[in-house]
A and B are shown apart, each in its own frame.
Chain A
Amino acid sequence: MLTAENLVKEYKDLRAVDNVSFNVLPGRIFGLLGPNGAGKTTTIRTILNIIRPTSGRVLFDGEPINENFFNIIGYLPEERGLYKKSKVIDVILYFAELKNMQKKDALHEADKWLKKLELKDYRHKKIEELSKGNQQKVQFITSIIHNPKLLVFDEPFSGFDPINQQIIREIITSFAADGKTIILCTHQMDTAEKLCADIFLINKGKEVCSGSLSSIKKMSGTNTVKIMFEGDGSFISSLPYVSKTEKTNSHLEVTLHEGMLPKDFLKEIMPLISITHFSVVEPTLDKIFIDSIRGNQ
């Protein structure tokens, strides 16, 4: 388990990370989400011991993270790039060796991953000869080749086509199933929603909300309903307990005031129009994200 305790990182006139604490459990993908400039990268750098926090500490299985942990860390930064003039296999082996892998094991693993990611034919090609997507795959391999216990992926899907996104998603999910500790940073809320078991939302260096995905969804309330009906429903938007309506060509989404339960709302409108469909809408992570950031501002 990875534990961040009261992390603070201050720069001259900026508090990039402001008293942040969380736990990342093995086997559960932890989503570190936030808008641009929220402090995600600084948090990651602190976790990875690339920069020292102003105060607070990071523990892995109860021990403070230091240089002895380098070999069990796998890191894929948001901005990508490799040694362009070097051969694919050489680059992979260099990073594997930097993680203290034996050359024999590194070669074996490299071939396994190259095959899995359909890069076998590019083994001896120079990085610059590869397409952008394939370069990204090579970089992905360099971050996981040493079978790390702690994985940090910053926007791992950017630059991949949907097919490759799916492949990477499956690999990350399999890592979680193997009991690895995984931190995933992303802007793609639908991906986070599909992959992450736990969420930590950060803005301006501070925690906005955190917890398991299901509990966050529950917390965000269920006061939006979707209805389909026959007849004139224009009066709905002017009802006193309705705060917002949104019409699409097939249905109407109604957001209710706090305290108004969906079943009571249904009772109220039943006599007035002929309802063909009624359901409670679960908020998407995207919506929770936007609402929380706005509410936080």
Chain B
Amino acid sequence: MKKILTIARWEYIEKVRTKTFIISMFVTPAIILLFSLAPTWFSRNAEESTRAYGIIDSSGIFFRPLKSDLEEVMMKNGQPKFVIINLYNKDENFIMVKKTADADVLRNKLEGYILILNGGTDKTRVEFRSRGSGSFDDISKIEEIFNKVKNKFLLQNAGVDSSVISASMRYVTVNPIKIEKNGKESKADFITLFFTSFIFIMLLMMMILSTGNMLVRSLLEEKSNRLIEILVSSCTQKELLAGKVMALSGLGFTQIFIWTMLGLVSTGAALVPMNVFDNIMPMMFYFILGYVFYVSIFVGIGSVCSTEQEAQQITSYISIILTMPVIFSLTAIEYPGSLLVRILSYIPFTTASIMILRLKIETITMWEYFTTVGIMIVSIYVTIISSAKLFKIGILSYGKRPSVKELVRWIREK
């Protein structure tokens, strides 16, 4: 045990002092914050200018109400979002009007225009014509207001009372509420959910990659200069492995500790909403399980590499697996109970990240807790045993990279 501690202390101090570690400690959360805050910031700032859109409505029914309703939409700074111009003139040929409007858009005289075809009939069609695909936000606003105007027109024509019309026009939103066992309920806010779980998954991913990389690199150094031989003539391979894993876990905890502190500071500064810390304990637990699982994989695989190139190749494979949960996180938020998300919760490579995600968006049953944690513990046990075997042979083999068949033989060897 004393030797394990000696190794762990050495490895920890050696790595905690490295520039890579110090940089990743502060740069990682900075990058993640930037990525998560930048789009919101940009979209907020993009809103600062009023857009001028035209309308071509040959029926003449929708122009006025549409213009007045659209011009009532305000931006956060109190300025109107849209300025609406009439492009239709009944004395001109419709085709010509459209052609001129298109030319104006192309010549940048106009940002875009709304083309209403067959207005007042059952076959009404609306196009938003602009140089690009158009702002998603603007189009959905136009769509919402157009439908309101159209329905109002139809109801008025049918002789419905104006008070009934205005009551029917009132938009009712559906609020998602997450119910929990202890009677607690919380408002499920899509954006916050997405960002908090996303940040946690990204942190896990970055942490695994940075410490994993560090481990592989140091193993490679020890292998290439044969330090490993001195080490294994001073302690058992098991002690060496245990010391290294312990040091890495220590590094992981150091990072978590510092990140939590940074998180608390930024909550204090109202940069991060308080509900980020809901369910923090089980999330941390999955975080640690995921981290230990990947670190033990890195130890095994890292010990097999003998060149920098091989190491890079292998770490890039692992990063692909690690990014999977990030890719699936959108699906998971859109369809929390979907089969795919459920299946991914039981695959050890994705369990930790997917469960962190699910903890935020749905209530996890006790049964699911037990099975996923059980799967993780068994997987960690299996990877540690296999990695220890790979490590034992891998650290002393140089030159040609062993084939998968050989690796399997090493793992099976008693």
Interface residues of A (CB under 8 A from B): 45, 48-51, 67, 70-71, 73, 75, 77-86, 94-95, 97-100, 142-143
Contacts and interface: CB of A to CB of B under 8 A. Distances in A.
16 contacts: A50-B233, A50-B396, A67-B235, A70-B234, A71-B234, A75-B233, A79-B225, A81-B224, A82-B227, A83-B221, A85-B14, A85-B18, A94-B6, A98-B231, A100-B3, A143-B230
Contacts of B227: 81-83
Given A70-B235, A100-B2, A83 B14 contact: yes
Contact of B226 (A51, A77, A83, A95): A77
Contacts of B225: 79-82
B229 A97 contact: no
Contacts of A83: 14, 221, 227
B10 A94 contact: yes
A99 B231 CA distance: 10
Q: Interface of chain A, helix or strand or loop or mixed?
A: loop
Contacts of B224: 81
Interface of B: 2-3, 6-7, 10, 14, 17-18, 221, 224-227, 229-236, 396
A77 B229 contact: yes
B399 to A, nearest CB: 13
Contacts of B7: 98
Contact of A50 (B10, B17, B221, B232): B232
Nearest to A142: B230
Contacts of B14: 83, 85-86
Contacts of A67: 235-236
A49 B226 contact: no
B229 A95 contact: no
A243 B236 CA distance: 56
A265 B6 CA distance: 69
A86 B10 CA distance: 10
Nearest to B398: A79
A51 B229 contact: no
Given A50-B396, A82-B225, A85-B18, A95 B230 contact: yes
Contacts of B226: 77-81
Q: Which of A84, A85, A94 has the most CB of B within 10 A?
A: A94
A50 B236 CA distance: 9
Contacts of A94: 6, 10
Given A50-B396, A81-B226, A82-B225, A97 B6 contact: yes
Given A77-B226, A77-B229, A84-B221, 18 more contacts: A48-B233, A67-B236, A70-B233, A70-B234, A70-B235, A71-B234, A81-B226, A81-B227, A85-B17, A85-B18, A86-B14, A94-B6, A97-B6, A98-B6, A98-B231, A100-B2, A100-B3, A142-B230
A45 B396 contact: yes
Q: Which of A81, A98, A100 has the most CB of B within 10 A?
A: A98
A227 to B, nearest CB: 49
B234 A95 contact: yes
A50 B234 contact: no
B372 to A, nearest CB: 38
Contacts of A50: 229, 232-233, 396
Task: Name the 9 nearest CB pairs between A and B, nearest first.
Answer: A81-B225, A98-B234, A79-B226, A48-B233, A77-B226, A75-B233, A97-B6, A77-B229, A94-B10
A73 to B, nearest CB: 6
Contact of B229 (A75, A84, A98): A75
Contacts of B2: 100
A142 B229 CA distance: 13
A86 B293 CA distance: 29
Contacts of A79: 225-226
B396 A99 contact: no
B60 to A, nearest CB: 79
Contacts of A45: 229, 396
Contacts of A70: 233-235
Contacts of A73: 233-234
A33 B18 CA distance: 41
A100 B233 CA distance: 13
Q: Which of B3, B224, B231, B236 has the most CB of A within 10 A?
A: B3
